[in-house]
Amino acid sequence: MIQAFAFYLFATLMIVSGAVTILARNPVHSVLWLILAFFNAAGLMVLAGAEFIAMLLIIVYVGAVAVLFLFVVMMLDIDFAELRAGFIRNAPLGVILAVVLFVELFVGILVRSAGDMAIGTAGAATAVPAGLSNTAAIGALLYTRYLFVFEAAGFILLVAMIGAIVLTHRQRSGVRGQNIAKQIARRPEEATINLQPEVGKGVSL
Amino acid sequence: MTPFFQGLGLPYEWAWTISTICGILLIALPVMLSVAMVIYVDRKVWAAMALRRGPNVVGPFGLLQSFADGLKVFLQETIIPAAANKGLFLIGPIVTFTVALLAWAVIPFNSGAILANINVGLLYILAISSLGVYGIVIAGWSSNSKYPFFSAMRASAQMISYEVSIGFILICVVLWAGSFNLNDIVKAQHGHGFGFINGFWCNPLLFPMWVMFLISSMAETQRAPFDLTEAESELVAGYQTEYSSMAFALFWLGEYGNVLMMCALNATLFWGGYLPPLEIPVLYLIPGWIWLILKIAFGFFVFSWVKATVPRYRYDQLMRLGWKIFLPVSLLFVFLVSGYLMATGHFA
């Protein structure tokens, strides 16, 4: 009973917040609704017994990705009139995309109800061993059966990161950076000199 | 508590609901009360370190100062700036306050005395603490004012940066304890040092992690020396500039709630949580929650000690510390810890 109630609560809230994400005029509001959608998705994951995935969803998407979205979107200087003009120009493209997505979804559901091809069904995957928490189960699977795929994914991300740094990094001249090790290594003897110049002579350093 | 209510003749669902609500109140009310007292302690500690007296007028030794302040802000008028985004302007402080209380659900106060004994307790805390930034960012943006906005930008960059190293530090602890469950982590610290000291802090591989965790948690809660989001010499009062009355008070409560939460996490992960510090049978006569509170109080003293003595970081120094020092060092320690555990067959 309570599970069904929670499921419909999360699912409804998720669909509503997803819809409002698209409909909201203000991009900042959109991002905040998107975060609510992520939250409800995490709630659904918990209901499905995948608490590890749920927590990762919140940590990665809500905690990092959405913060970056918000960071960028907050700095936009929004011109609503221009936004609406763009809407009318891009509307045909949007409608075509929507139709394609809808047809795919429809066909997918149709095929699924017609009978299975045993792809991606629960039978194809290994069942969670009894007595293992789902964090341990996922870890065991990732580090044994899918080790090379997992490593390759990590490697691709590393390459992407290095690529992003190489593309955006530029050496600027005339910047005086702070070298903390050098500052700490400095001793009074090197930094100060004690002179007693004659009156009116001045000092050259 | 559920069996107790079941014993009163209630069906399981009702007993569970009532006992959970009681548990929430048992945690939330003392936390709120201790936030009020901790603000007083904070001011007393700064005062002592600056050779002043601190609050000493309201109540004996000024003990009731925080309540007087609370009453004052409660009676003030709530001002919402005309140019502010009204809904979000009010949601900001509520988010900060709520998030500060949420994370307490998984802290074990005694063996078995834990509101939500979930497998992914530590991940839950990471998830909740990553939400903390939204209150500040929403407040800064919706105020529609320059300095709060700068503050929001700083807050989001700062919290993302330090979350990365906190994540790696927590992984070291999790590797050693072999579980994400905070209760199991506390149990793993039982007799960790020579079978005599309870706590991961005495482990030479985890002690540096404790130091880094302490510093990162100061950055994560935006306490001095990392309080760049409300640096009064640069940003007036940062994201709180436009706030008054209860909305402002919610920020304060949330901020100190977060600090207490970080101290509780510190106590639970490195100082043995509800276990007594040393493995002496006599010490077990004192209940676990008192040990936890003592450890939290010590952690909080360190926080206010640092605030009273260390000057504020510059923003580029803060970023350098997070990305160029803490991130590589914590990553190195993940390798060292997992390498050591593999070499010694810790989980074999």
- Encode A2-19: b = buried (16+ Cβ within 10 Å), e = exposed: eeeeeeeebeeebeebbe
What is the ipTM metric for this complex?
0.78
What is the band of B82 on the pLDDT scale with cuts at 50, 70, 90?
Answer: confident
Tens of pLDDT along B226-283? 888 777 777 887 788 888 888 888 888 888 988 999 999 999 888 888 888 887 878 7
| Pair (B59, B88) in one structural domain | no
Chosen domain end from B21, B46, B70: B70
Domain membership of residue B15 as a residue range: 1-70
Q: Are the C-beta atoms of B256 and B296 separated by less than 8 Å?
A: no
Distance from CA of B145 to the nearest CA of A (A): 12
Chosen domain end from B52, B70, B88: B70
Rounded-to-integer distance, Cα B278 and Cα B166, Å: 27
Percent of chain A with pLDDT over 70: 84
Percent of chain B with pLDDT over 90: 8
Q: Are the C-beta atoms of B62 and B322 separated by less than 8 Å?
A: no
- Determine contact: B123 vs chain A, CB below 8 A: yes
Instruction: Say which of B13, B118, B137 has its CB closest to residue A70.
Output: B137
Residue B348 domain-assigned (yes or no): no
- Determine contact: B319 vs chain A, CB below 8 A: no
pLDDT attached to residue B1: 64
pTM for this entry: 0.81
| Pair (B246, B125) in one structural domain | yes
| Pair (B286, B320) in one structural domain | yes
Average the pLDDT over A179-187 and give the result.
86
Domain count for chain B, please give it.
Answer: 2
Vertex B219: Cα angle to B235 and A75 (nearest 5):
50
Q: Is A67's CB within 8 Å of B126's CB?
A: no
Q: Which of A7-21, A43-57, A129-143, B276-290 has the lowest mean pLDDT?
A: A129-143
pLDDT attached to residue B348: 57
Those residues with Cβ within 8 angstroms of residue B272's Cβ, 6 or more apart along the chain or in another chain: B186, B189, B190, B192, B198, B199, B200, B291, B295
pLDDT attached to residue A124: 44
Mean pLDDT of chain B: 85
Let me know if A54 is exposed, middle or buried by CB neighbors in 10 A (0-12, 13-18, 19+): buried
| Pair (B118, B221) in one structural domain | yes
User: Scanning every residue of chain A, which has its alpha carbon at the shortest distance from the alpha carbon of B162?
Assistant: A64
pLDDT of B28 higher than 90: no
Over its C-alpha atoms, chain A yields an Rg (Å, rounded) of 29
- Determine contact: B130 vs chain A, CB below 8 A: yes
Chosen domain end from B19, B42, B70: B70
pLDDT attached to residue A16: 92
| Pair (B129, B2) in one structural domain | no
Tens of pLDDT along B172-188? 898 888 888 888 888 88
Instruction: Say which of A67, A133, A178 has its CB closest to residue B133.
Output: A67
User: Scanning every residue of chain B, which has its alpha carbon at the shortest distance from the alpha carbon of A73?
Assistant: B141
Residues in chain A with CB shorter than 8 Å from the CB of B150 are: none
More confident of the two residues A163 and B5: A163
| Pair (B214, B270) in one structural domain | yes
What is the band of A159 on the pLDDT scale with cuts at 50, 70, 90?
Answer: very high
* Residue pairs between chains A and B whose CB atoms are closer than 8 Å: 67
- Determine contact: A62 vs chain B, CB below 8 A: yes
What is the band of A52 on the pLDDT scale with cuts at 50, 70, 90?
Answer: confident
pLDDT of A157 higher than 80: yes
Q: Is B163's CB within 8 Å of A64's CB?
A: yes
Q: Is A59's CB within 8 Å of B126's CB?
A: yes
| Pair (B31, B118) in one structural domain | no
